[in-house]
Amino acid sequence: MRILVTGGAGFIGSHLTDRLLDRGFDVYVIDNLSSGSIKNLSKCVSQSNRCRIKICDLKNDDCLFNIDYTPDLIYHLAANPDVRASYQDPQTSFNENILVTFKVLEFMRKRNIKNIIFTSSSTVYGDAIKIPTSEDHPIKPISIYGACKAASEIMIQTYSRLYKINSVILRLANIIGSRSTHGVIYDFINKLRKNPEVLEVLGDGMQKKSYLYIDDTIKAMEMTIDLFNEDVEGLEKVYNLGNEDWITVKEIAEIVIKEMNLGDTKIIYKPYTSDGRGWPGDVKFMLLDIEKIKKELGWRPEKSSREAVIATVKDLLKELFNT
Ligand code: NAD
């Protein structure tokens, strides 16, 4: 199988590329390196007979439309994943998420490419009425980023119906692990490296969310390929991909401080709203119902949210101190 990975130099995309190469697939990576890095693609670089990289911006037609590669499957990950920044700069979020997804879909239509797996987000649910939140819960984002993911989902599913494209949408919880360059753990470590005395936490620390380790994430993304076979046409699947438990931001701060061996750090909480959110558009409570993916794909997470946080702090500290 020939597989194109958009955003393949990023955190999740590069781990996915590594795994696809290990499985023996032929991989083509497209990335503009806006947040990704070629350093993440050393396995791909060393296997240039089976792995190619094109550095270009998917917003431009000449990035995708003239490549001499027609994949069987596209993992579409390229995006601007910064939820907080999408409040200040909706245009960038629109361009990097909706416009880029549209370009990918047009490429598929024109080249007759039949299979796509899209990394959507738990943020499409907004402040969920029901927790754990299942896939049939109403979509009501409270951030521009979440709205862009929801719009991209609708566009992908419409292409599925009109052009008989098979689509799998994965609504990801918070994904954490080595190579991540955004999110709460990365922020805490960097703040504490600058000032180990005080840790400023956005929000009241009581935000409670589910965190999934990168290895568990990649396993599920890889298993998703099995849904595509010669006989399926116009497949439309949506799966939540998260953990079975959750953890507060306060607990994460305490884990990071402990793992960095900083006993006396003072934690200061900075709620942005009266109900303790960290920024406009911050979903305070997020726990996805993952029964569907467990039942249909036979996947289940190995690490709990807490174990994933501890492993990630160790991963990131190792990366930071080795560079
Ligand atoms: P990331 O920023 O590390 O990866 C995104 C990659 O896309 C980067 O390598 C970036 O350079 C590339 N990119 C962005 N705009 C591009 C463009 N116009 N043209 C070409 N390349 C472009 O982020 P990530 O955490 O690896 O996220 C991967 C996907 O998973 C994204 O779609 C994100 O929205 C989604 N997701 C991530 C999380 C999470 O917790 N990390 C949660 C939910 C959903």
145 is catalytic: yes
Q: Which residues line the pocket of ligand 1, CB cutoff 6 A?
A: 7, 9-13, 30-36, 57-59, 77-81, 96, 100, 119, 121, 172, 174-175, 181, 183
Closest atom of ligand 1 to 57 CA is: 19
Cross-strand partners of 74: 4, 116
Q: What is the pLDDT of residue 323?
A: 52
Q: Which of 14, 38, 39, 119 to mutate to test the pocket of ligand 1 (most atoms within 8 A of CB)?
A: 119
The rounded Å distance from CA 78 to ligand 1 centre is 5
Which CATH fold would you assign to the domain 2-176+212-241? Answer: Rossmann fold (3.40.50)
CATH number of 184-209+245-286+303-317, picked from 3.90.25.10, 3.90.1200.10, 3.40.50.620, 3.30.70.100: 3.90.25.10
Instruction: Render 269-315 in DSSP notation, one character per residue.
Output: EE-SSTT--SSTT--SEE-B--HHHHHHH----SS-HHHHHHHHHHH
The DSSP call for residue 134 is P
Sign of CA dihedral 76, 80, 82, 85: negative
Give 39's contacts (C-beta < 8 A, 6+ positions apart).
none
Closest atom of ligand 1 to 13 CA is: 26
Q: What is the pLDDT of residue 230?
A: 77
**Along the 323 residues of the chain, how does pLDDT read in single tens digits?**
999 999 999 999 999 999 999 999 999 999 999 999 999 999 999 999 999 999 999 999 999 999 999 999 999 999 999 999 999 999 999 999 999 999 999 999 999 999 999 999 999 999 999 999 999 999 999 999 999 999 999 999 999 999 999 999 999 999 999 999 999 999 999 999 999 999 999 999 999 999 999 999 999 999 999 999 878 899 999 999 999 999 999 999 999 999 999 989 999 999 999 999 999 999 999 999 999 999 999 999 999 999 999 999 999 999 988 75
The conformational region for residue 179 under phi > 0 = left, psi -120 to 50 = alpha, else beta, is left
What is d(CA 303, CA 211) in angstroms, rounded to the nearest whole number? 9
Q: Which of 6, 18, 34 to mutate to test the pocket of ligand 1 (most atoms within 8 A of CB)?
A: 34
Question: How many CB atoms are located within 10 Å of the residue 59 CB?
Answer: 15
Spatial contact of 252 and 309, defined as CB atoms under 8 Å apart: yes
Q: Which of 16, 17, 30, 32 to mutate to test the pocket of ligand 1 (most atoms within 8 A of CB)?
A: 32
What is d(CA 311, CA 231) in angstroms, rounded to the nearest whole number? 40
Closest atom of ligand 1 to 34 CA is: 11
Domain ranges of the chain: 2-176+212-241, 184-209+245-286+303-317
The residue whose CA has the least distance to atom 1 of ligand 1 is 10
Residue 179 CA to chain centroid, in angstroms?
12
Spatial contact of 117 and 168, defined as CB atoms under 8 Å apart: yes
Find the helix packing angle between 184-194 and 249-259, rounded to 10°.
50
The rounded Å distance from CA 114 to ligand 1 centre is 22
Q: What is the pLDDT of residue 251?
A: 98
Closest atom of ligand 1 to 149 CA is: 34
The residue whose CA has the least distance to atom 30 of ligand 1 is 119
Q: Which residue has the tokens 């047009």?
A: 106
The rounded Å distance from CA 293 to ligand 1 centre is 22
The rounded Å distance from CA 79 to ligand 1 centre is 4
Between strands 266-270 and 247-248, the pairing is unpaired
The rounded Å distance from CA 6 to ligand 1 centre is 9
* Of the candidates 110, 113, 80, 146, the residue with the CA atom closest to the CA atom of residue 4: 113
The conformational region for residue 69 under phi > 0 = left, psi -120 to 50 = alpha, else beta, is beta
The rounded Å distance from CA 158 to ligand 1 centre is 23
Q: Which of 6, 16, 31 to mutate to test the pocket of ligand 1 (most atoms within 8 A of CB)?
A: 31
Domains 2-176+212-241 and 184-209+245-286+303-317 in one fold: no
Instruction: Render 222-268 in DSSP notation, one character per residue.
Output: HHGGGG--TT--S-EEEEEE--SS-EEHHHHHHHHHHHTT-TTPEEE
Choosing from 75, 125, 145, 239, the catalytic residue is 145
Distances (CA, A) of 260 to 23, 221, 287: 36, 31, 27
Closest atom of ligand 1 to 183 CA is: 40
